[in-house]
Structure 1
């Protein structure tokens, strides 16, 4: 059984230009057709042509080959099974569609795909314009704003805010202490007044002096 490493062990003159052919933007059928055209003058054996085919296949199609177990199939069968039509028919069968509905599904899926691609391209253009506008506005702001001046202003404002906040807290504390002193003094006066005996309070009252007229 041949392995992929066998290609690297072959002399370069055996696989010149054909090894440079890759799928790229071609469909699987177009890629295989080009590979066969190049092989007309080389007449490589089936196993080597299959290795070259797998080597140039896109990652997406390579994944399909591995998932569906197509490595053991003949090249023609592999290409046929990888065609978009076959994939669409598989989907149609999964959904239980008949032949007529499957044809309709193919057409609709193709149109839907084209529409989605157009929508994606339109959204991409819109986003690109917005990004360009934002970048231009950012450049204008950089030109208008002196960043060094802004930083210096921040360094000046922050200490003032901290100082004012500390002063406000200090004043609040002093007012609180003053209220406590006044309240304490008032309580002491009231208590002292209550402690004076009733008789002493009467003596302390001012006496009225009667004057005798002669």
Structure 2
């Protein structure tokens, strides 16, 4: 039969307790050495017997270096824990402050809307009225400024449209004058042709000096007619 399971309790017999301590101590030191070699771990083992005797093992040549590293690690963890607790406390305090601020702002907003005024004194009501008056004054100033800016912009647009309208009207007037000028110039061409043609006259005939001999004779009997004979004798000068 195999060994039974050993109960983990204090051994009452001093001799048995001493033997068990020696065996377990050797096995513990052996396991510490094995884990330091196999896993490349830094191991520091310190054991005090019930009589105060010290037994230690260090994977490094100096036990103090491992202990210093342990102390630094322990101190950093304590600082981190304290910082975390302080940060949490600060966050809780800040959260409560923000909650109070939000509630005060909501109350002020309701009071500006004319609600929850029963808890305010006369002085508080006067201050509230003054704040509302100042707010209205700033609102009116801003509104008037925007209105003036809008009016100025509309006036600029109106002037620009008026200028465009004037330009278009001028172009339209010019376009209307061009056909009328053409219509006035077209009838002048025949007149010019006639005047030019009339200016060209055939050569005048040569007038020579003439001698005219004329006489009047009475009419025949029984008639009231008058016969006039004109004898023209054209004498052509001999050149």
TM-score greater than 0.5 by the shorter chain: no
Larger strand share, 1 or 2: 2
Q: Relative contact order: is structure 1 or structure 2 higher (C-alpha 8 Å, sep ≥ 6)? A: 1
What is the TM-score when the length of structure 1 is the normalising length?
0.30
More helix by share: 1
TM-score relative to the length of structure 2? 0.27
